[in-house]
Structure 1
Amino acid sequence: MSTLVLVIDDSLVVRKILEICLSRAGYEVKSFPGSVEVFRWLATPEARIPSLVIVDLCLPVIDGYDIIRRLKTKPAFAHTVFVMISQREGVLDRLKARLAGAKDYLTKPLKTQDLLAVVQSSIGLPAASQEETYRLPGVSKGGLIAAGHQYPTHKHLYH
């Protein structure tokens, strides 16, 4: 079974870019525009517990802090890693994210190599592509290589 990553961001552009970046790296990605949609999906029979959740701080209805807090109270999410993304760069925001249960905090615009580095260091390489990736050189001057795909270092993800 593939490694599942959930993306929760109200920006369709950010969700699509993260989906492409992570799926090319070999991860299974499911994305949602907000808390209502992710909690609705988690209540369905086809829902699976993700290895990692990337959640935007500023979301409608329930913010990223509360999404992390609510999911962390559920025993099924005991081993799930949470990463907060936001345009906010303040120390207080980073501290609040950490206290809510986020392992990492990345600021927008995101660099694809930073995102992949955080994901891979948090949950490892995706199960389906570990063998293939180990045969490739780790990092080239032009970008990060994972699962046979190159991600240029100059590309950014915007909110």
Structure 2
Amino acid sequence: MTNSISLTVNGARREFVLDDPRVTLLDLLRERLQLTGTKKGCDRGQCGACTVLVDGKRINSCLALAISHDGADILTIEGIARGDQLHPVQAAFITHDGFQCGFCTPGQIMSAIGMIREAQAGDDPERIRECMSGNLCRCGAYAGIVDAVLEVQAGQDEAKQRLSA
């Protein structure tokens, strides 16, 4: 028995035939679309390396069955830059050394983008650490990650103030 699903991945509509309904969204992205920026870390939803945005919400793609997201809009690390222009969170991670080995970085960035879009970040470093607690960094780049999120959030707050003035 096969199942057909349709997903919009990084802005492009894609159709898939799944021979196995147990295929995770992570495996579909990595193996069928070669979007390997989304990492397979623990494969148990504990490390956050596989974080993507589904319909604007952060999820661990290793725990999500692809079939359960039929019709969804998926955003991965490969879909956030605009040509040569980095997403503001990517640029802030570079500026603030928000990575070391880089393995967790795609999941960290996607989680940060989701958190900012959900208006969860604010200007409280402790709140940011709490909201990002599902994303683990074995190298310990947490201070740079928090500083990067604070920078992006401050930039968005300034832009909102200019628009309302």
Higher CA-based Rg = 2
Higher strand share: 1
TM-score (norm: length of structure 2): 0.23
